[in-house]
Amino acid sequence: MSPTATIDGSLRQAAGLLQRCSDSPRLDAEVLLAKVLSRPRSALVAHADAPLDAAAAKQFRHLIDERRRGVPVAYLTGTREFWSLPLNVTPAVLVPRPETEDLVELVLERLRPDAPVRVLDLGTGSGAIALALASERPLASITAVDLSAAALGVAAAGSRERRVALRFVVRARGRRALRRHRRESPVCRRGRSRARGAEIRAGAGAVPG
Ligand SMILES: C[S@@+](CC[C@H](N)C(=O)[O-])C[C@H]1O[C@@H](n2cnc3c(N)ncnc32)[C@H](O)[C@@H]1O
C-alpha cells in the first residue's frame, strides 16, 4: 500500500490482495481500514479520496498481511457483532457463528420474559449466547461456564463493557457445573433426564428460578 494512496485506492489494492483468501475481500478490507482509522465503514465511502497517512497505511498493510495468513477478521479487530451486541473476541475464543443466533431465538421462545428463570450456558466461549440471552431477559439469572480461564476473561470483560449482567461466571468442568446447576434447580431434580436433554441440546439449560 503506497503511503500516498487514497482511502479508496488502498481499499481496492487490499481487496485485490485478499481475493484468494477471503470470500468477502472488499468487506474485509473496509472493516480492517475502519479499525485502523477508528471510523465507521460509512466514513470510508464519504472520504474515499482522502489520502491515507504513512502510519495508517503501514498498520493497514500489517492487518492485510495477517488476513492473508488466514487470521479471521474478528481476531484482527477484536470484536464481532452477535445479536446486535459488539462482542469481544480474541484467539482464546472461537468467533461466534451467525447460526448461533438461531439457537438464541429458540431459547428465547422458551424463556418467559416475566419469569426469573435460571440459565446455564455451558462452554460459553466469548459469552455470545449468555450475553444475548441476558440482553433479552433481564430477569434471568445466567451462569456462564467454561473450562478455559482465558475464555472466561473474554466473556467477563464483554459482560462489563456491554453492561449486560451475567450473574456468575464460574470456571468449572462441564459435568461438575451441570451437577451443581441440577442440584440447585427444583425442576431438574424432578425431571432429570428431560432437563438434561434440553440442556445439552441447547448448550444453555433454563429452569424456573
Ligand atoms: C465451540 S466453543 C463455543 C462457544 C460459544 N458457546 C459459542 O457458541 O460461540 C466451545 C467452548 O466450550 C468450552 N468447553 C469445552 N468443554 C468444556 C467442558 N467440559 N466444560 C466447560 N467448558 C467446556 C471450550 O473451552 C470453548 O470455549
Q: Which of 199, 207, 208, 209 is nearest to 122 (CA)?
A: 199
Please give the distance, rounded to the nearest whole angstrom, from the Cα atom of residue 139 to the centre of ligand 1. Answer: 24
pLDDT at 205 over 70: no
Confidence of residue 147 (pLDDT cuts 50, 70, 90): confident
CA–CA separation, 29 and 209 (whole Å):
46
Q: Using CA positions, which residue lies closest to atom 4 of ligand 1?
A: 125
Residues in contact with ligand 1 (CB, 6 Å cut-off): 93-94, 96, 100, 122-126, 128-129, 145-148, 151, 173-174, 203
Q: What is the pLDDT of residue 1?
A: 60
Mean residue pLDDT of the chain comes to 85
Arithmetic mean of pLDDT, 161-182: 72
Q: Is 131 helix (H, G, I), strand (E, B) or coil?
A: helix
Confidence at 175, pLDDT banded by 50, 70, 90: confident
User: Domains of the chain by range and CATH?
Assistant: 7-77 (1.10.8.10), 96-208 (3.40.50.150)
pLDDT digits (tens, 9 = 90+) for 69-116: 999 999 999 999 999 999 999 999 999 999 999 999 999 999 999 988
Half-sphere exposure of 77 (CA within 13 A, CB side): 22
